[in-house]
Amino acid sequence: MNRRFSWFNATSLTLGFAFLYLPMLILITYSFNESKLVTVWAGFSTKWYGELIHNEAFLDAAVVTLKVAVMSSTFATLLGTMAAYVLIRGGRFYGRTLFSGMIYAPLVMPDVITGLSLLLLFISIGLDRGIGTIVLAHTTFSMCYVSVVVSSRLATFDQSLEEAALDLGCTPFDAFRSVTLPIIAPAVISGWLLAFTLSLDDLVIASFAAGPSATTLPMKIFSSVRLGVSPEINALSTIMISIVTVGVITASLISKRSIVKQRAEEQKAVRN
């Protein structure tokens, strides 16, 4: 196999990355634009970041978004971890295949359908739409991601550790709390971060689930853009990009490091 870095490879790499990241680069660049006109470069400035702090509407939306993200990712982590545990440890119970299929289905479900069905549910049971319903909606779709992350860790977990805990006098719950949970903690944390970032960027589902009383940041940005793109929005988007980037990188680093560490320890154990 030719492993040399050929011109063809270089071109496809450049094109691919340009395709993915050029729009974001432009957005970040223009967030530092002095001019009020988005498309005309008038020199470097951070003044739009300053103005952003005084924009009440944006700040309110940011607070709502953070509240929703923290709550929904926490619920999603609880439910997703439980689902993963049952799927991996529950043995072959009746309907297991159906259950595991149903856990993963929302991953590929179009957001519009998830949003619409939730909206119909909220209306039919007479639930007032607001922060609460957005949290519910976000929990619903992000718990699937958590359960995927946690179950892949649980699948490689030595079950005799749990048996040892039971053998030494733990109740099944105590065994989970004092042995299983500390060991799978990195996967649970990275699941939480994933759910958090997913909730942070969601526009479609939030639009369906939100009422007039609650507006998330992506919703606010989307509605402002319809009146024209302002440099303030560029600045705001840049901040969101950085938060999401940090979240995703941290999550993947945590899970990767724990896998590497676990492998190293297992190899060490084999060698000894």
Partner 1 sequence: MAQPASRPVFAPWNDPAAKPLIQFKSVTKKFGEFVAIDDVTIDIFAQEFFALLGPSGCGKTTLMRMLAGFERPTKGQILLDGKDLADVPPNRRETNMMFQSYALFPHLSVWENIAFGLKRSPMPKGEIGPRVEQMLKLVRLDKFARRKPHQISGGQRQRVALARSLAKAPKLLLLDEPLGALDKKLRQDTQFELMDIQEKTGTTFLIVTHDQEEAMTVASRVAVMDHGKMIQIDTPDRIYEMPNSVYVADFIGDVNIIKGNAKPTGEGRFAISWAEGQPDIAAASGAGIAAGTPVHFAIRPEKIAISADKPADRANAVKGRIEDIAYLGNISTYKVELANGAMIKAQVANDRRLARRTFSWDDMVWLSFTDTAGVILMK
With both helix axes pointing from N to C terminus, report the angle between 131-155 and 231-271 in degrees, rounded to the nearest 10: 20
When binding is defined by CB under 8 A, the residue of 174, 177, 225, 257 that contacts partner 1 is: 174
**β-pair partners for 44:** 33
Whether 58 and 220 have beta carbons less than 8 Å apart is answered as: yes
Which lies closer to partner 1 via its Cβ, residue 23 or residue 182? Answer: 182
Whether 112 and 204 have beta carbons less than 8 Å apart is answered as: yes
State both tokens at 47: 């003044």
Which lies closer to partner 1 via its Cβ, residue 72 or residue 190? Answer: 190
- Integer Cα distance of 235 and 186 in angstroms: 32
90 binds partner 1, rule: CB under 8 A: no
Amino acid occupying residue 223: S
From residue 142 to residue 161, the character string flagging contacts with partner 1 as x (rule: CB under 8 A) and all else as - is ----------------x-xx
**β-pair partners for 33:** 44
183 binds partner 1, rule: CB under 8 A: yes
- Residue 256 CB, nearest approach to partner 1 (Å): 18
- Integer Cα distance of 111 and 253 in angstroms: 28
96 binds partner 1, rule: CB under 8 A: no
167 binds partner 1, rule: CB under 8 A: yes
State both tokens at 107: 């991953």
- Integer Cα distance of 24 and 40 in angstroms: 17
- Residue 100 CB, nearest approach to partner 1 (Å): 22
When binding is defined by CB under 8 A, the residue of 40, 163, 225, 252 that contacts partner 1 is: 163
- Residue 168 CB, nearest approach to partner 1 (Å): 3
> In this structure, what DSSP letter does residue 128 have?
P
169 binds partner 1, rule: CB under 8 A: yes
Segment near partner 1 (CB under 8 A); pick from 2-10, 126-134, 203-211, 262-270: 262-270
Q: Which residues bind partner 1 (CB under 8 A)?
A: 158, 160-161, 163-171, 174, 179, 182-183, 265, 268-269, 272
